[in-house]
Amino acid sequence: MARTGTGLGLSIVRAAVLAHRGTVHADAVPGGGLSVTVNLPAGRDT
């Protein structure tokens, strides 16, 4: 059985990460799938 989604996941992740001054990067995985890397700052800027 194939799973389907709404396509909102990465959009929500991106919005949350950018709101926290981070970065998100997605790469297709050969053979299928997706690798997602999220980087968030360690502390607050003052």
User: At 27, is the pLDDT very low, low, confident or very high (cuts 50, 70, 90)?
Assistant: very high
pLDDT classification of 40: cutoffs 50, 70, 90: very high
In a domain, 21, yes or no: yes
User: In whole angstroms, what is the distance from residue 22 CA to residue 14 CA?
Assistant: 9
Q: Tell me how far apart the alpha carbons of residues 24 and 2 are, in angstroms, rounded to a whole number.
A: 26
Q: Nearest 5 degrees, angle CA 24-CA 29-CA 34?
A: 45
- Check pLDDT > 90 for residue 36: yes
Is residue 44 included in any domain, yes or no? Answer: no
Q: How confident is the model at residue 15 (pLDDT cuts 50, 70, 90)?
A: very high
Instruction: Please report whether residue 30 resides in a domain.
Output: yes
Has residue 20 been placed in a domain?
yes
Range of the domain at 18: 9-39
Domain contains 32: yes
The answer to whether the CB of 24 falls within 8 A of the CB of 17 is yes
Three-class secondary structure of residue 23 per DSSP: strand
Q: Per the structure, how many domains does the chain have? A: 1
> Would you say the pTM of this structure is higher than 0.85?
no
Q: Which amino acid is at 44?
A: R
pLDDT band per the 50, 70, 90 thresholds, residue 6: low
Is 1 a domain residue? Answer: no
